[in-house]
Amino acid sequence: MQNFGAFVSHYGVDNHGIKNPGTVYWNLTTSMLYEHVTRRDEGKIAHLGPLVVQTGGHTGRSPNDRFVVKEPGSESQIWWGKVNRPFSQENFDYLYRKMLAYVQNRDIYVFDGYVGADPKFRMPVRIITEYAWHNLFARNMFIRELDPEKLRNHVPQFTVIDMPRLKAEPEQDGTNSQTFILVDFGRRLVLIGGTEYAGEIKKSIFTAMNYFMPQQGVMSMHCSANFGKDRDDVALFFGLSGTGKTTLSSDPSRTLIGDDEHGWSDEGVFNYEGGCYAKVIRLDPKGEPEIYETTRKFGTILENVILDNSTRRVDLNDGSLTENTRSSYPISHVSNAVRDGMGGHPNNVFFLTADAFGVLPPIARLTNEQAMYHFLSGYTAKVAGTERGVTEPQPNFSTCFGAPFMPLRPGIYAELLGDKIKKHGAKVWLINTGWTGGPYGVGNRMKLAHTRRMIAAALNGELDDVPMIEEPFFGLSVPQAMQDVPSEVLNPRNTWSDPEAYDAQAQRLVGMFKENFKQFEENVSEEIKAAGPR
């Protein structure tokens, strides 16, 4: 085994069972990784410096190929079911041995860093990859260690081994397909194979934090975060991919804490990551200038974005490979991001939903009980491309606005969030970034300018004294009027050409909410149950 790099950890890869690899490249700089990517023909350098790569057949996550190892240390705590499906220790061991054999005589890349900006809760991680560009992805997405001596003494508390070209044999290995994402909380280890989609690395680490942080009293959240004039004016934006977390938190008038994953401790909010992972399909340089600028910078990775081989210019409007085109970039690419990734306690919490039915109002103030109901429901739409087989938005209930990454029972996250909202007096808002004037295919997507204006009104206290009306289906408090937002937009029924069709669609969605919430009814208060739709 040959180690290469200025920052080789004394805790070598042999501690992970890896023996006889080719060259192990340790903690390479961005420039060095660029050289490896181009030399190995893993990607191409575009105009102005971003790296353009393709992820093959997997252009989104593969939730049906993700399993949690059933082991004594975590078995009683896991929320077993469709999301967290059990995988035997025997099958895990077999695939692990297969992976260790696969690594022999192959060059691999190691990134050592952290997840969690708050030093009190920071977890040292190690990402071992087959591809150089996956290692650059890890370098972008996680928190780097800048002290050479600490890097050389780095000992990970959680490790991901990512070998895309290693494919499982389902009948032999116990997997659903040739793809596998296996999470073992006992060994603090994730094995990934059969997929080149780098997002699996990021979400595996997020899943680990969602397991470990609540056990330390930290609310683990699938949300973006920013603050206003000072760190005590924090806003959170919960939502699944495509609902607007990155877009709405990237506000030039506010300071970005992070775009996707955070913890909320007794001292405030902190980012888990050191980078951002934004959707860039049809990115508007005028409407989203901060994100657009990152697509034109050295160090950014553009996934499945179409590149003109003659001019080396990218076309962000071309979705021929996938609607889920992505940009991975270090948070230092964002001029108004706070470098330490920390803020105070939130004053405002926004639940973002992309309502494919076109029923929910664009903004509504929630009571604490309604907040818990909608947090547990996690209603949104799966957006095209974020998962395999999803080609258009589909109604989806994702508990805690992030069920695919939540290993513990939903009540644990809901209780933590409810306690913190109540303790710190945060206002909670439901924001529909989805459709209005009709369902998907008939209506139109909510205008970003209107959504930004409504959020600004909520943040600056403009809505505190505005008269509210109670919409009839969900009992939500909706502002009667707002500057720069047409009054008919605030009442979605008024945007439909056929109000009776709206009523029928609303009743249909009410039924879906009630059916979904049956799974929680035994474990919530009567007040929370009563906070649902009529």
Q: Identify the active-site residue in 260, 325, 420, 451.
A: 260
Query: For residue 342, what pLDDT is reported?
Result: 98
Q: Identify the active-site residue in 326, 374, 450, 493.
A: 326
Are 394 and 379 contacting, i.e. CB atoms less than 8 angstroms apart? no
Three-class DSSP category at 80: strand
Nearest to 138 by CA among 421, 330, 418, 389: 330
Give yes or no: 477 in active site. Answer: no
Q: Identify the active-site residue in 58, 70, 203, 365.
A: 203
Residue 439 in tokens: 């369902």
Q: Identify the active-site residue in 66, 126, 222, 409.
A: 222
pTM: 0.94
Are 133 and 42 contacting, i.e. CB atoms less than 8 angstroms apart? yes
Give yes or no: 326 in active site. Answer: yes
Nearest to 357 by CA among 248, 244, 512: 512
Give yes or no: 70 in active site. Answer: no
Distance in angstroms (rounded) separating the CA atoms of residues 355 and 200? 26
Query: For residue 384, what pLDDT is reported?
Result: 58
- Conformational region of residue 295, where left means phi above 0, alpha means psi within -120 to 50, and beta covers everything else: alpha
Distance in angstroms (rounded) separating the CA atoms of residues 106 and 101? 10
Rg from Cα positions in the chain? 23
Distance in angstroms (rounded) separating the CA atoms of residues 315 and 323? 13
Give yes or no: 120 in active site. Answer: no
Q: Identify the active-site residue in 175, 179, 224, 241.
A: 241
Strand 108-115 and strand 23-26: the pairing is parallel
Query: For residue 179, what pLDDT is reported?
Result: 98
Give yes or no: 66 in active site. Answer: no
Give yes or no: 246 in active site. Answer: yes
What string of pLDDT tens digits covers the 534 residues of the chain? 899 999 999 999 999 999 999 999 999 999 999 999 999 999 999 999 999 999 999 999 999 999 999 999 999 999 999 999 999 999 999 999 999 999 999 999 999 999 999 999 999 999 999 999 999 999 999 999 999 999 999 999 999 999 999 999 999 999 999 999 999 999 999 999 999 999 999 999 999 999 999 999 999 999 999 999 999 999 999 998 788 999 999 999 999 999 999 999 999 999 999 999 999 999 999 989 999 999 999 999 999 999 999 999 999 999 999 999 999 999 999 999 999 999 999 999 999 999 989 999 999 999 999 999 999 999 987 655 655 666 666 778 999 999 999 999 999 999 999 999 999 999 999 999 999 999 888 999 999 999 999 999 999 999 999 999 999 999 999 999 999 999 999 999 999 999 999 999 999 999 999 999 999 999 999 999 999 998
Are 108 and 13 contacting, i.e. CB atoms less than 8 angstroms apart? yes
Query: For residue 242, what pLDDT is reported?
Result: 80
Strand order in the sheet with 51-53: 44-45, 51-53, 301-303, 326-330, 275-279
Distance, CA of 345 to chain centre: 21
Neighbours of 390 (CB within 10 A): 18
What letter represents residue 36's amino acid?
Answer: H
177 Cβ neighbours under 8 A, 6+ residues apart: 62, 64, 65, 168, 170, 194
Give yes or no: 260 in active site. Answer: yes
Q: Identify the active-site residue in 16, 58, 202, 245.
A: 245
Are 270 and 346 contacting, i.e. CB atoms less than 8 angstroms apart? no
Give yes or no: 325 in active site. Answer: no
The DSSP result for 246-259, as a single string, is HHHH--TTSEEEES
Distance in angstroms (rounded) separating the CA atoms of residues 303 and 54? 6
The DSSP result for 28-39, as a single string, is --HHHHHHHHHH
Query: For residue 386, what pLDDT is reported?
Result: 56
